[in-house]
Structure 1
Amino acid sequence: MRSVAAHSSPYRLADHVHACHFDGQVVLLDTRRNKYLGVGGAQLAALSRCIAGWPVTSQDQAPPAKHESLDALVKPLLDQQMLTAASTSRQPALVLDEPLESFDSWHPTQDPSNWRDLLSMAYCASLTAVWLKKRCLAEIAISVRRLRLKEPSGQVETNPEHMRAAVASYLRLRPFLFTAHDRCLHDSLTLVRFLATKRLFPRWVIGVRTRPFAAHSWVQSGPIVLNDVYEHARDYTPILVI
């Protein structure tokens, strides 16, 4: 394999790989394989020398390991197709507001839950179950993006009261269909699909934490966490935002 020049950045993360930096390490999410990879120590500085956009600032970097060549560090990532040529463009990551508020499901609304919402939720929950059984996260992310693209220009709903009414209906009806306990990904994707039927498009988020390692998913509109308490969401660093 050709040696990587220390002063160049010939690679970038592939489009299906997402990264975040916290607690002295970089966590990578390979959405094609639904796997996480942690990179820490001297490898952080070494990889920043050859991967464009590596999420580590200079003050966070430790001296590169002398006994490990850049080839040895990069080759496993290339073999798993987690890197691509830096000359190709990557879609900018979406910016997520800091979670500051939890949704209040008991806020009074003028549009109470009805049987149509229940049927719609059941349909969305069933499709989500199929997604999670047969698709990887990369394919699911594409499908979530397409939900918004299907809407004609100018037809996206932006009224915050409509969002509040729709989410309140979802949370009231959810116990009739499934429990969200330990099923955060299914719950979040079902909520995203349900809101899309009402032309509402909040952010779908996957976050990670360490000590111990854990991943969590939630739905967020601006600074408001829609299907979790915001204090819990703040424990996680977002790695994927759609």
Structure 2
Amino acid sequence: MTYRLTPAYEACLCDGQIILLDLSTDRYWLAPPSQLAALCAVLDPGTRGEVNTSDLQDLLRAKIIEPCRASDLPAPSLPPADGARPAFVTHLSLTGVILALMYQVRAIWLLQVHSLDWIRDHIRTQKHPTRSHSAMALATVLQSFAQSERILPSTDKCLRRSLALRLYLKAHGIDAKLVVAARLRPFGAHAWVQQGPHVLNDHLERVRPFTPLFAA
């Protein structure tokens, strides 16, 4: 039997421990030692033979995992962050800043009204044709969002600002991923937008200590 996390959960392996994110409540927690082997087997099916069946049953009853076909297992879709964002441009569009502010406000509303699992699935199911774009065009967008944060401060609001940027890029046909990640020591959570290996709205040194929970 093959298992996967239920849609309400995401998880990552950090320093030999598993951090779980309950998307419906936006709550992070550390998997207890009794669940560690079973969850590792779910995240890495190659270790399935080492797992006690009763531990898997406990996770099933807790609705943390669910049965699935092997073909339904999620495929890795995010390369490791290993690149810098495009260089900022010197000119700035007032229209671009206003649009960035509008998407920031939309992100605030979405985070207040909907759970993270709804937002994740909403991003993944929205269909917008991907369009070609220049590095300069992308840099202009990033500059507009950086300026908008001076008007609408985003200290400790990485999820909101990253969600806003992700929604804007998706609506304009620019492929990228919203990444939600965690670290164990010291515990922390972070979010950023990534295009391939390139981090768009943060510094590489800041995101490297975090292990992605999901990308959308």
Q: Please say whether Structure 1 and Structure 2 have the same fold, judged by a TM-score greater than 0.5.
A: yes
TM category, shorter: 0.7 to 0.9
Q: Residues 98 and 202 from structure 1, CA distance in 2 versus in 1: closer, same or farther, beyond 3 angstroms?
A: same
1:36 is displaced (CA, Å) by 2.3
Distance 1:54 1:137 in 2: 20
Match status 1:117 vs 2:100: no
SS in 2 for 1:18: strand
CA separation in 2, counterparts of 1:197 and 1:107? 22
- AA aligned to 2:44 is P
Shift of 1:13: 1.7
What's the secondary structure of 2:28's corresponding residue? strand
Higher helix share: 2
TM-score, normalisation: structure 1: 0.75
Matched positions, count: 214
Could you give the per-residue CA deviations for residues 138-166 of structure 1, whole angstroms, max 9, x where no partner exists?
0011222234x1x2xxx412334232232
Q: Distance in 1 between matches of 2:179 and 2:212?
A: 7
Aligned pairs (5 A) from 1:85-100: 85-87=67-69, 90=72, 92-100=74-82
1:177-216 Cα distance to aligned partner (Å, 9 max, x none): x122100001101111222342213110011101221110
What aligned pairs does 1:98-113 form with structure 2 within 5 A after superposition? 98-108=80-90, 112-113=91-92
Q: Taking CA–CA contacts closer than 8 Å with sequence separation of 6 or more, which of the two structures ends up with the larger relative contact order? A: 2
1:140 aligns with 2:115: no
Change (3 A) 1:91 1:124: farther
The partner residue of 1:130 within 109, 126, 151 is 109
**Deviations 1:87-130 (Å, cap 9, x if unpaired)?**
4863524422222233255345xxx4323223322221121111
Contact 2:7 2:117 in 1 (8 A): no
How far apart are the structure 2 equivalents of 1:96 and 1:122? 27
> Which consecutive unaligned segments of at least 5 residues does structure 2 have?
none
Q: For the residues of structure 2 that align with 1:35 and 1:88, how far apart are their CA atoms?
A: 28
Match of residue 185, structure 2, among 197, 202, 211: 211
Alignment RMSD: 2.9
Q: Deviations over 1:60-112 (max 9, x none)?
A: x9x87xxxx7546743x33442221234863524422222233255345xxx4
1:6-155 to structure 2, matched below 5 A, reads: 9=1, 11-39=3-31, 41=33, 43-45=35-37, 47=38, 53-55=42-44, 58=47, 71=54, 74-75=57-58, 77-87=59-69, 90=72, 92-108=74-90, 112-147=91-126, 149=127, 151=128, 155=129
Q: Give the aligned residue type for 2:8.
A: H
- Percent identical across equivalent pairs? 26
Gapped regions of structure 1 (runs ≥ 5): 1-8
